[in-house]
Structure 1
Amino acid sequence: MIRVTAPGKMILLGEYAVLEDAPALVCAVDVRASVQIGRLAGNEFVFSAPSLNLHELPFVILPNAHVRFDPALGQEALRKLTLFAGIMEYVYSRLPDPLKNQGLRIAINTDAFYAEQFHSKMGFGSSAAFCAALVKGLVVISKLDMTEAQIFRLALSAHHHAQGKMGSGIDVAASYFGGYLHYERIYENDPVNKLPQPVSPCAGLYFRPVFTGKSASTTKLVGGVKQLKEKRPEVYDPIMERLKALSVQGLQAFEQRQVELFLEKVREFYITLKNLGDQSGMPIISGVHQKLADLAHRAGVVYKPSGAGSGDIGLIFSDDRQRFSEAITIIKNSGYFPLDVDVATEGVRLEKSF
């Protein structure tokens, strides 16, 4: 039996632009998903996810790699199982035949990604963390001879297919490698050695995530922006070019430790994100994000959503420790939820083999 864990993520700069091949800045956070995998006799498979109220559910993997749970579980349970089934199907369609008949008991735990008092996810990328840990675990327990780059690319493709081929993969990269990363979108036909690049921390920059109190649908927001691209390219294109330029400039400032310039690019990125949301009709900068941005501005710090926007988390940034501390207090006293999490320097890891 093995146990594998992987951290969540925070996108510091580059949302939406990364979907159009611009570089983005992301870091892993010390909120970890865990996957425990053990062998079973024959070709029995059992899945549990207590975080989703799914316990000891048997399933089969058909010769075509299709994962089948009992339809009697009902629509709600089967919906919760969609991501797991999609990842398994992608991985198993690429396994050597002898490995497909080895039964497994798989249990996942993503409790750390949920805000219990709100009964919702916080937005740290639980699905990507779970996927990175699951794929790493499947490779380890199957004793496949694969490099870390190959395992990452397998996890990246599995998550992309299981999520309906949406997203850039930036969250899987953060979960797999940890630390700070310079990420550019990776496509399936790219060379296997195309990987995200590690970035050193930016001395003198302080930042903290703030939970808005509600989760958001990334799929809906990204889909709405995609409609703007398809129906009104004359509006979409200049906004996206601006986001891409700011992402390039901001990442360069971070890498060169130019904190003041980085903060300026974050401010401009926020304004351009708001324009993208207004033009697409998507609440990227929702009322709660605008309120947090106003509070941050009054406290002398910088704010932006982390991820697709609307809900989930935002980030406050500052180059002044005292102002940063005062801003956290102001935001907390205003009824919002600064989160005390650290950057996870380590990505996916095999924690136990027993």
Structure 2
Amino acid sequence: MPNINTGGVRAFSAPGKALLAGGYLVLEPKYGSYVVALSSRMHAVVRRVEAPKASPSSFVVNVRSSQFNGDEWEYELEASTNYQPIQQGLSKNPFIEKVLLTVFNYFQPDLTEQENISIEIYSDPGYHSQAETKVKSNGVKSFLFHSKSIVDVPKTGLGSSAGLVTVLVTAFISCFKPDLDVSSYDGMRLIHNLAQVAHCQAQGKIGSGFDVAAAVYGSITYNRFEPSLIEQLPDTSSSEYHSSLVSLIDKTDWKIKASRVSLPPRLRLIMGDVNNGSETTKLVAKVSEWYKAHYPVSLEIYNTIDNANTRFVDSLRELTVLCDKDTPAYEALIETINDKGREVHPLLQKIITSVNVIRENFRTITKQSGADIEPEVQTALLDAATDLPGVLTGIVPGAGGYDAICLITTDSCNIANETNHDPAFSTVNWLDLSQQDLGIIEEKPNNYENLS
């Protein structure tokens, strides 16, 4: 794909995510997962700017988010300090800082010959609470503008930090590698590896990486990298950091598995925000303690969940094959979902049974570990939702908890109308989201004009 470059300006976007299958198991490289990229995207518009420098060797990066009460972060960098970003002003953002540190150390640009960089970031409505907002539109793009700073606006759990890191990494790479093609294998691999390093460093831990992988590659089945790859990097102040980072990014086989996958035709993803936050790190810690304490029974439970995950994903692929081979039969199958009174097709029953096995085993872990993966309130919501016409199945995505529920429905199912005035769904806000196949993409810079 050719660069969409307008007057030295480029723009990129990366999707949010929902982990449909593989929660907790995704932390182990041997287990696969199914990650869906979502239509809510993080956006970055990057340009070179001429501006005064404190010294010939210094370099200024300005990142701005006019959406969130004009939030702005500015940093000065110098090669002599290993590109450690020196913050100008009071606003801190560890994700921006680690992106800067990682990308600049990788490229080691000669800053005396570089123009400064300015980036404007935007986020689609699905990422944050929509309270106290107003819409701004230029006729092409529309965004919600908040009266508060980004740190004071609740998130919905769609992977905003992974999306932000991925789109910023891409924007900075494009400054030092003008021929960057985000649709190519090499382009995506470079973005993925740098974004994983930056995201882990910003979080202060080595995560599974499925959220960054979805932001780069889109809807995928995913097996993670070994945490030791990033753990073995030297301290960022070390003289060895650059060579170790380049070796990790360019020469090391990360052994991840990221294969494109998509929901079958006429099925769609529905996310319901339940407006109750969950602390994923605490949930993960409790499950980890449970796993060690209950081994080898815990291993048997994980393997049972993994087998059900595999059957679930395989069944989705079989549905797509059926649609291609026998469209009338597939259309009839879809109608059995819309009409709950009709006999369920064996392929659909395989999906329903697989998800039920996954949910049942996570409820067992919930009871034994004290980690609210599928708490009773979410069980009640999912059971009520899956009884509705047009709903195939549902699950608590990701690490579970109280954040959201996720349903697979037919494209003709209007879940908002189905649940309107139903007290069982009074706490649910159905998000305007859909699955997307692609991860990082290049956008037209002109589409973001007159929004700030």
* Correspondence 1:264 to 2:356: no
Matching residue of 1:115: 129
Deviation at 1:250, TM superposition (A): 1.8
Q: Conserved in 1, the CA contact under 8 Å of 2:42 and 2:163?
A: yes
1:345 pairs, out of 437, 440, 448, with 437
Point out where structure 2 has 5 or more consecutive residues left out of the alignment. Answer: 1-8, 54-58, 133-152, 181-185, 230-247, 320-346, 447-452
Counterparts of 1:327 and 1:263, CA distance in 2: 22
Aligned-partner SS, 2:207: coil
Aligned-partner SS, 2:83: coil
2:97 pairs, out of 85, 97, 104, with 85
Aligned-partner SS, 2:106: coil
Deviation at 1:234, TM superposition (A): 4.1
Matching residue of 2:274: 212
Q: Conserved in 1, the CA contact under 8 Å of 2:35 and 2:220?
A: yes
Deviation at 1:127, TM superposition (A): 1.1
Counterparts of 2:360 and 2:66, CA distance in 1: 40
Structure-2-length-normalised TM-score? 0.68
**Using a 3 Å threshold, how does the CA distance of structure 1 residues 350 and 238 change in structure 2: closer, same or farther?**
same
Q: Conserved in 1, the CA contact under 8 Å of 2:191 and 2:216?
A: no
Residue deviations 1:140-164, cap 9 Å, x none? 1112666222222222232233222
Residue deviations 1:222-266, cap 9 Å, x none? 232223334543453232222222222222222222333122111
Residue deviations 1:83-134, cap 9 Å, x none? 2212222222212242598432233222521121395222211111111111
Deviation at 1:38, TM superposition (A): 2.3
Structure-1-length-normalised TM-score? 0.85
Aligned-partner SS, 1:311: coil
Q: Conserved in 1, the CA contact under 8 Å of 2:26 and 2:33?
A: yes
Matching residue of 1:150: 190
Counterparts of 2:296 and 2:257, CA distance in 1: 33
Deviation at 1:282, TM superposition (A): 1.4
Matching residue of 2:24: 16
* Correspondence 1:129 to 2:160: no
Counterparts of 2:20 and 2:208, CA distance in 1: 15
Q: Conserved in 2, the CA contact under 8 Å of 1:299 and 1:327?
A: no
Give me the identity figure in percent.
25
Q: Conserved in 2, the CA contact under 8 Å of 1:166 and 1:219?
A: no
Deviation at 1:196, TM superposition (A): 0.9
Matching residue of 2:326: none
What is the correspondence of 1:62-211 to structure 2 with a 5 Å cutoff?
A: 62=78, 63-70=81-88, 73=90, 77-78=91-92, 81-98=93-110, 102=114, 103-112=116-125, 113-117=127-131, 119-143=153-177, 147-148=186-187, 149-178=189-218, 180-187=219-226, 188=229, 191=253, 194-203=256-265, 205-211=267-273
Aligned-partner SS, 2:43: strand
Deviation at 1:204, TM superposition (A): 5.7
**Using a 3 Å threshold, how does the CA distance of structure 1 residues 220 and 83 change in structure 2: closer, same or farther?**
farther
Alignment length (residue pairs): 345
Aligned-partner SS, 2:275: coil
Q: Which has the larger radius of gyration?
A: 2
Counterparts of 1:57 and 1:175, CA distance in 2: 23
Q: Conserved in 2, the CA contact under 8 Å of 1:3 and 1:137?
A: yes
How well do the aligned residues superpose, as a CA RMSD in angstroms?
A: 2.9
Deviation at 1:313, TM superposition (A): 2.1
Counterparts of 1:206 and 1:120, CA distance in 2: 26
* Correspondence 1:274 to 2:363: yes
Amino acid at match of 2:439: G
Aligned-partner SS, 1:214: coil
Counterparts of 2:225 and 2:112, CA distance in 1: 28
Deviation at 1:194, TM superposition (A): 4.7
Aligned-partner SS, 2:396: strand
Counterparts of 1:297 and 1:82, CA distance in 2: 40
**Using a 3 Å threshold, how does the CA distance of structure 1 residues 331 and 247 change in structure 2: closer, same or farther?**
farther
Counterparts of 1:307 and 1:220, CA distance in 2: 14
**Using a 3 Å threshold, how does the CA distance of structure 1 residues 269 and 3 change in structure 2: closer, same or farther?**
same
Q: Conserved in 1, the CA contact under 8 Å of 2:103 and 2:173?
A: no
Deviation at 1:198, TM superposition (A): 1.0
Counterparts of 1:332 and 1:52, CA distance in 2: 33
Aligned-partner SS, 1:93: helix
**Using a 3 Å threshold, how does the CA distance of structure 1 residues 283 and 331 change in structure 2: closer, same or farther?**
farther
Amino acid at match of 1:104: I
Mean Cα displacement is larger for which, 44-53 or 271-280?
44-53
Aligned-partner SS, 2:195: helix
**Using a 3 Å threshold, how does the CA distance of structure 1 residues 100 and 51 change in structure 2: closer, same or farther?**
farther
Aligned-partner SS, 2:12: strand
Deviation at 1:332, TM superposition (A): 6.7
**Using a 3 Å threshold, how does the CA distance of structure 1 residues 327 and 92 change in structure 2: closer, same or farther?**
same
Mean Cα displacement is larger for which, 143-152 or 162-171?
143-152
Matching residue of 1:310: 401
